[in-house]
Amino acid sequence: MRPILTAAAMRAVERRVIDAGTPSLELMERAGASAAVAAWRFGLPREVNILCGTGNNGGDGYVVARHLAERGHDVRVIAAAPLRSADARAMSARWAGPVLAYGEAKPAAGFIDALFGIGLDRPLEVGDVAELQRLGANARTRIAIDLPSGVGSDDGALFGVPFVFDLTVTFGANKPAHIIEPARSCCGRVVVADIGLGAIDSKTRCNAPPRLRAAVADVHKYERGSVIVIAGPAGAGGAARLAARAALRAGAGLATLACQPLALPENAARLDAVMLRVTPDVAALARVLTDRRIGAVVIGPGLGQDAAAKAKLAAVLASEVATVCDADAFTLCAGEPEALRNAAVLTPHEGEFVRMFGNLPGSRIDRALAAAARAGTVVVLKGPDTVIAAPDGRAVVNTHASPALATAGSGDVLAGIIAGLLAQGMAPFDAACAGVWIHGDAGLRGGTGLIAEDLPELLPAVLQGLA
């Protein structure tokens, strides 16, 4: 999985490399040269304006200008003055082409933003916004160095970025803003250039296709994993049925729906491969959960929010079976995330997350990590940039997904997928990361018009592609 670094962590990596003997000016040269190559390969028009700031990002811009000019581009530098960085001053001295003040350059087909890099935490000045808009609004190709100016590196916030870029070239590792919204949508395609920083260790990473354990030839269904999904009252079983079918399609050998007597006819009419167990009360459910062959439980989808539902949730959490909590489980424990400490994985969307944990400060990554630490379990904060966080400080961000997943029942399918992987022996954090990626890939395959019932049927092709 590719690392994600905050601004402070990136500076620490650069400082380590500099302290080991690589001059900072050499790193700037590598960064600018690699950005110029990326821009050239992207098809940057011959005529280009480069807006250079007063710090190191501006220094990168001067290097980009020099290398593009050597490749035959007609380059003009527009400079914010005075230069604050010694390295930027050194690189500006190596640039022999035109340097213009704000308002002097005519717009060009190509535009490169080297005004601000990582670490911006304030709104852009009015003059900076005006010049960005003047030079970039109508450019055919817009490229940002490290980050679009006006983007918060660590939290993905927007501080007045005036348009969407076509390409962003960053160095060493992704920054949170390349991965999380709303900044991600402003970056366009993101290229991570290698500038010789060596191996980068980070507890926050981008999600990647999972490595799944191959089934042995003589396996039987219980060895592939058994999942039980706790259903709600009659008329509200659709969510639980989706989760149970998804668990099977994710590779579990057995899935069972535990339901009330009145809900049995509707569930029996809708399910074939999923088994049914009638659990008229909490005592009956507790007895079912003593079966040591059960590898994972899903509770919450369509469960209900009454006293009986809360008692079922308590029984499941007391069973010590790996549990995925979703939907109504969060309403039942609103403001009390510690009550779900025995769960293996929590899968809230933004509204459920706030209901459980309140308005936590920081980025989505920060908030998910704080929630995981408080609840003592893996938290999957769902969204277009889903964050999977563990109590030990690990976090993974998933962007391998489709807007088509914003459909009723999609989250119930995700809960079932994760439970299916848990039942097969995956650790909770690994199962959550894998489940989110698999769910996202199914969404990409389904595309526009996707509904939740489609998702389980797409999973075999996804899993086959991972074999």
pLDDT digits (tens, 9 = 90+) for 90-112: 999 999 999 999 999 999 999 99
428 part of a folded domain: yes
Output the pLDDT for position 37.
98
Which among 139, 170, 202 is the end of a domain? Answer: 202
Query: Are 90 and 170 in a shared domain?
Result: yes
312 part of a folded domain: yes
pLDDT in tens, 314-332: 999 999 899 999 999 999 9
219 part of a folded domain: no
Q: Using alpha carbons, select from 134, 94, 96, 93 the residue that is nearest to residue 113.
A: 134
CB 1 within 8 A of CB 205: yes
Query: Are 232 and 181 in a shared domain?
Result: no
CB 353 within 8 A of CB 375: no
Determine the Cα–Cα distance for residues 108 and 429; give it in Å rounded to an integer. 48
Which among 202, 234, 257 is the end of a domain? Answer: 202
Sign of CA dihedral 433, 435, 439, 442: positive
Output the pLDDT for position 298.
99
In this prediction, residues 140-147 reach a mean pLDDT of 98
pLDDT, the chain, mean: 95
Query: Are 196 and 289 in a shared domain?
Result: no
Query: Are 386 and 337 in a shared domain?
Result: yes
Phi, psi of 295 (to 5 degrees): -100, -20
pLDDT in tens, 175-217: 999 999 999 999 999 999 999 999 999 999 999 999 988 777 6
Annotated binding residues for K(+): 57, 113, 149
Output the pLDDT for position 218.
67
pLDDT in tens, 50-75: 999 999 999 999 999 999 999 999 99
CB 443 within 8 A of CB 404: yes
Largest Cα separation within the chain, whole Å, is 83
215 part of a folded domain: no
294 part of a folded domain: yes
Measured torsion, CA atoms of residues 290, 296, 301, 303, in degrees rounded to the nearest 10: 10
Query: Are 194 and 337 in a shared domain?
Result: no
Question: Structurally, how many domains does the chain consist of?
Answer: 2
Query: Are 249 and 297 in a shared domain?
Result: yes
Annotated binding residues for (6S)-NADPHX: 56-60, 117-123, 146, 239, 302, 349, 412
Q: Using alpha carbons, select from 110, 188, 92 the residue that is nearest to residue 148.
A: 188
Query: Are 155 and 272 in a shared domain?
Result: no
Output the pLDDT for position 283.
96
Domain carrying residue 424: 226-466
Query: Are 363 and 436 in a shared domain?
Result: yes
Q: Using alpha carbons, select from 458, 17, 22 the residue that is nearest to residue 242.
A: 458
50 part of a folded domain: yes
CATH number for the domain harbouring residue 32? 3.40.50.10260
Q: What is the pTM of this model?
A: 0.94
Q: Using alpha carbons, select from 60, 37, 10, 58 the residue that is nearest to residue 18.
A: 10
Output the pLDDT for position 219.
74
pLDDT in tens, 211-265: 988 777 667 777 678 999 999 999 999 999 999 999 999 999 999 999 999 999 9
Query: Are 57 and 193 in a shared domain?
Result: yes
Query: Are 254 and 344 in a shared domain?
Result: yes
Give the pairing of strands 204-206 and 294-299.
unpaired
Which among 202, 235, 262 is the end of a domain? Answer: 202
Annotated binding residues for AMP: 382-386, 411
216 part of a folded domain: no
119 part of a folded domain: yes
Grade residue 417 by pLDDT with cuts at 50, 70 and 90: very high
Query: Are 194 and 230 in a shared domain?
Result: no
Q: Where are the alpha helices (DSSP H) in 325-409?
A: 328-332, 350-357, 364-375
Annotated binding residues: 56-60, 113, 117-123, 146, 149, 239, 302, 349, 382-386, 411-412
Query: Are 310 and 171 in a shared domain?
Result: no
Output the pLDDT for position 160.
80
431 versus 267: the higher-pLDDT residue is 431
Grade residue 131 by pLDDT with cuts at 50, 70 and 90: very high
Is residue 362 over pLDDT 80?
yes
Phi, psi of 400 (to 5 degrees): -85, 80
pLDDT in tens, 365-374: 999 999 999 9
CATH number for the domain harbouring residue 329? 3.40.1190.20
